[in-house]
Amino acid sequence: MSDPGHHPISADIVIHGGILLSMVEGQPPLDHAAVYVQGDKIVDIRPNMPAPRPSQGSCTIDATGAIIMPGLVNAHGHTAMTIFRGLADDLPLKQWLFEKIFPAEAKHLSPDTVYWGALLGCAEMIASGTTTVSDGYFFQDATALAVHKAGLRALVAQGVIDFPAPGVPDPRDNLKVGKAFIEKWLPFSELLTPGLFCHSVSTCSEKTLQSAMDISSRYSLPLQIHLSETDQEVTEVLSRTGQRPAVYLDRIGLLDGPLIAVHAVHLDDGEIQLLAEKGCPVVHVPESNMKLASGRAKVSRMMKSGLRVGLGTDGCASNNNLDLFQEMGSAAKLCKVFTLNPVEMDAGTVLRMATLGGAEVLGMEREIGTIEIGKRADIIVIDLERPHLAPLYNPYSNLVYSASGADVRDVIVNGKILMRNRIFQGLDVEEVMGRVREIARIIKKG
């Protein structure tokens, strides 16, 4: 933070008058703060500033009565699955996946449906304060184009599975397709990181998992995997390999590389310790785990073991929205009800998980996750002039227990305003919704 007395600096965007939650460890909320953005970076932060006079060419955002904070990081999702929102609910996971979702994906996924579904997901995330998303799916060229169009920061990972998959009819090609995807998108944009996403230990062979890690390590890119989402998965892996899933992954070398474990619901204490020792981060996905009755991850134990933990929504077919504010409330309450301890998973801890925690999981903590001078300008403004957000004793509490994504007013990613006063600046959201409704009409016919 700079000296409040020194001369004003030139800035493209000035956000002023709000309560700043920098999410920097140990930094309390700062009243009447002003955040200066130049180009793609935060260049200054000043406390107790009077409203600056708008200088030529700069944009001034009055955040009086609002919260200024880092954009949220959705550390796991399948963005294009918005097209399946509400298609199949209230089913056992195996039936939901193998009888509903996989057949619907096989029939209806194409570069066109993935593009419009992903763009709708991006619009939904921007409108609810997410500025970075980690995505894993198929036809990922289309997802990459959609996140680029929307202006989000993203890790876009090509799905890898040892079954015929959308866009990869012969599973023997899955890593060839994945490697080509990485090589195509790596030089494309600073906002877009390509990668691989292995579906699970149950659906990928040892050779597939090791080859995916070889490629990921070669390019220093994270490799995502669904790990121990259900009890059945643990039983299946145990009977096939003689080891629990995390122990098996360690034996075949995957924990020595840049792996991100998603779900991590059915880990025993030894596996939690193992992931902590190996430095393998975890993405907590509470609403999907609740809705599919998969169980719940022992998040507070993981954090106490030193694991890095981020928060994700998963796809829209198992959530059924991409609102990380709701996800934060669920994460806090789910932990409390299972530990029978209201002190566990306090609001500040959950908010950290959805910002800096997610950035750490994705290896982006030096660029995003906090509001600090020199970091990328991924910033959101949350309107507090709402009945359900008054009064304000503790901003962390109001954000986690009272707010929803609909309270997000302004969204900036990499110094670019994507939403101002809840109006999209670069997306024709009516068109996007119309296109997805057309796709849904076809899906509905079966």
Q: How many residues bind Zn ion (CB under 5 A)?
A: 1
Give the shortest CB-283-to-Zn ion separation in angstroms.
Answer: 9
Query: Closest residue (Cβ) to Zn ion?
Result: 314
Give the shortest CB-285-to-Zn ion separation in angstroms.
Answer: 7
Give the shortest CB-262-to-Zn ion separation in angstroms.
Answer: 6
CA distance between the termini of the chain: 57
Would you state the structure tokens that stand for residue 420, as one six-digit string? 């101002």
Cis before 171 (ω within 30): no
Q: Which is nearer to Zn ion, 227 or 237 (CB)?
A: 227
Give the shortest CB-76-to-Zn ion separation in angstroms.
Answer: 6
Give the shortest CB-429-to-Zn ion separation in angstroms.
Answer: 25
Q: Which is nearer to Zn ion, 260 or 418 (CB)?
A: 260
Give the shortest CB-415-to-Zn ion separation in angstroms.
Answer: 30
Q: Check if the beta carbon of residue 37 is closer than 8 Å to that of residue 12.
A: yes
- Among the listed residues 219, 215, 221, 208, the one whose alpha carbon sits nearest the alpha carbon of residue 165: 208
Q: Which is nearer to Zn ion, 263 or 435 (CB)?
A: 263
Q: Using the rule CB under 5 A, is 410 a contact of Zn ion?
A: no
Q: Which is nearer to Zn ion, 271 or 314 (CB)?
A: 314
Give the shortest CB-314-to-Zn ion separation in angstroms.
Answer: 5
Place of tokens 């998969």: 294
- Among the listed residues 190, 74, 185, 181, the one whose alpha carbon sits nearest the alpha carbon of residue 122: 74
Q: Which is nearer to Zn ion, 314 or 407 (CB)?
A: 314
Q: Which is nearer to Zn ion, 105 or 314 (CB)?
A: 314
Would you state the structure tokens that stand for residue 418, as one six-digit string? 């994507």
Helix (H), strand (E) at residue 310: strand 309-311
- Among the listed residues 324, 348, 343, 313, the one whose alpha carbon sits nearest the alpha carbon of residue 408: 324
Q: Which is nearer to Zn ion, 87 or 417 (CB)?
A: 87
Piece of the chain touching Zn ion by CB under 5 A; list 4-12, 215-223, 307-315, 438-446: 307-315
Give the shortest CB-81-to-Zn ion separation in angstroms.
Answer: 9
Q: Which is nearer to Zn ion, 312 or 415 (CB)?
A: 312
Show the binding pattern over residues 309-328: x = contacts Zn ion (CB under 5 A), - = does not. -----x--------------
Beta-strand pair 59-62/13-20:
parallel
- Among the listed residues 413, 354, 375, the one whose alpha carbon sits nearest the alpha carbon of residue 126: 413
Q: Is the dihedral of CA 165, 166, 169, 170 positive or negative?
A: negative
| 20 Cβ contact list (under 8 Å, min separation 6) | 29, 30, 33, 35, 45, 67, 68, 69, 371
Partners of 282 in the β-ladder:
261, 309
φ and ψ at residue 202, rounded to 5 degrees: -75, -25
Q: Is 22 helix (H, G, I), strand (E, B) or coil?
A: coil
Piece of the chain touching Zn ion by CB under 5 A; list 34-42, 65-73, 179-187, 308-316: 308-316
Q: Which residues bind Zn ion (CB under 5 A)?
A: 314
